[in-house]
Structure 1
């Protein structure tokens, strides 16, 4: 793994937090293996998560009706993005592996991290109509979520009060990371961090360190290939009829998203096949 580069995007405001400890373990472990590691500590940077016309320089293409996605795509092509966005994009371009470290809040990312995605992972730079999923620009890069929860693991199960963790992971892992081409590694989840013993937290850090030692060799989560879908004006971008025919009689759907009205594949967003 020597010579590879990693980016850790950290979204927690407290430097004594377990999330900071996870980021520090990741950085030190990877560096010991010869990685070049960069950390984007979003709170320390004062990163602005709010979309606005200030995200581009120069006049917009349509000043009377500012369409953010369109204007950002044009500004990216013309080199007119704001400097803070360009700085983060350069970090992504340089990285082989990106780790997103954050606390699960309202069953999703903290606002500052979601804003980072909204402002940085933009049309042109990270995707286009013709380059999505396994054809995406970042198909040679790996990415993963590493996060903490307040609740116990059982509460994020199909029988738990919060529901199946696979469902919460789908929009982040499929809709954001895989959409841009990333090979998505299984998430590192530390459950109930606030309520476990110091010994249990130490074991979590040790398990994280052990995993990171061979992280580059891990297989990514499975993905339904683009070739299984077809685009039509009448039906949209959906699974081909022959694929649907092959799935008839099977008890489980293909994925959490393409479930076909059947049971979800167990742990499909939690571990590689």
Structure 2
């Protein structure tokens, strides 16, 4: 595998930092190539603005169009282009972060905002049908992605009956709205719960589980999302046909099977 490890934690000596080091080491020891984007260490700028696109100040800024134009004419900010080259190089993306207020840290959200621009991660159509290529058919089709997430919550509280909500629902905007939207297949996430109460013995066990998950990535079945350009959705309204998942609503209807 060619792995881009995208990490977002401000403390290198944290549980996140230690798990990142363990994971990268395991992959390299087994012959896989790894590049690391440690966003805090890089002092990554998470803010989208006109400077990203060398956009004239006297013109109104339309983000998606300006980004696509800058990508095409080579004026996209160099830090963005460098990250895009890593994405193109990789066949696997690991996205690691602590769960803060039920989402990713702002610095990581800003990475996706700035890197996954129109003309790179979305904005393409099928030349024959004119259908928009997204949700399983985007420009990053063929790549895989896995989330490695830590949470202070106890085991079970991020499960189907847990008070914090099911982890797959919390990660749906990333799994489905980002990975799957751009064509990448998302495999089930790796959750480390009770992260702020980890003991040395628990860390060793967690690290071993992470190593196993990483080495099994090429054969791990992805989350079973429905493709937009499949018969499951009405092509005009892009809504799921009423005979499919008739008793469900929300994220659950967009899986062909219950995620595990």
TM-score normalised to structure 1 length = 0.85
Aligned-residue offset at 1:81: 0.3
Secondary structure at the residue paired with 2:195? coil
Q: Which moved more, 1:131-140 or 1:88-97?
A: 131-140
C-alpha distance in 1 between matches for 2:160 and 2:250: 17
**2:50 counterpart of 1:48:** no
C-alpha distance in 2 between matches for 1:43 and 1:67: 28
**2:242 counterpart of 1:244:** yes
Secondary structure at the residue paired with 1:154? coil
C-alpha distance in 2 between matches for 1:217 and 1:157: 24
Aligned-residue offset at 1:183: 1.1
User: Which residue, 21, 25, 38 being the options, matches 1:24?
Assistant: 21
C-alpha distance in 2 between matches for 1:202 and 1:210: 12
Q: List alignment gaps of at least 5 residues for structure 1.
A: none
Q: Is the 8 A contact 1:5 1:36 kept in 2?
A: yes
C-alpha distance in 2 between matches for 1:108 and 1:37: 25
C-alpha distance in 1 between matches for 2:169 and 2:153: 16
C-alpha distance in 1 between matches for 2:36 and 2:245: 43
- Aligned partner of 2:214 in structure 1 is 212
Aligned-residue offset at 1:198: 2.1
- Aligned partner of 1:73 in structure 2 is 68
Count of matched residue positions in the alignment of Structure 1 and Structure 2: 251
| Structure 1 pair 252–238 and aligned structure 2 pair: CA distance change class (3 A) | closer
C-alpha distance in 1 between matches for 2:106 and 2:248: 34
- Aligned partner of 1:86 in structure 2 is 81
- Aligned partner of 1:98 in structure 2 is 93
C-alpha distance in 2 between matches for 1:197 and 1:23: 17
Q: List alignment gaps of at least 5 residues for structure 2.
A: 125-131
C-alpha distance in 2 between matches for 1:74 and 1:195: 48
Q: Is the 8 A contact 1:193 1:201 kept in 2?
A: no
| Structure 1 pair 258–94 and aligned structure 2 pair: CA distance change class (3 A) | closer
The runs of 4+ residues in structure 1 deviating greater than 4 Å are 251-255
| Structure 1 pair 216–246 and aligned structure 2 pair: CA distance change class (3 A) | closer
| Structure 1 pair 158–223 and aligned structure 2 pair: CA distance change class (3 A) | closer
Secondary structure at the residue paired with 1:24? helix
Secondary structure at the residue paired with 1:147? strand
Give RMSD over aligned pairs.
2.1
| Structure 1 pair 200–257 and aligned structure 2 pair: CA distance change class (3 A) | same
- Aligned partner of 1:193 in structure 2 is 195
Q: Is the 8 A contact 1:253 1:265 kept in 2?
A: no
Secondary structure at the residue paired with 2:34? strand
Secondary structure at the residue paired with 1:101? strand
**2:258 counterpart of 1:256:** no
| Structure 1 pair 257–16 and aligned structure 2 pair: CA distance change class (3 A) | farther
The correspondence of residues 134-145 of structure 1 with structure 2, limited to 5 A, is 134-145=136-147
| Structure 1 pair 214–159 and aligned structure 2 pair: CA distance change class (3 A) | closer
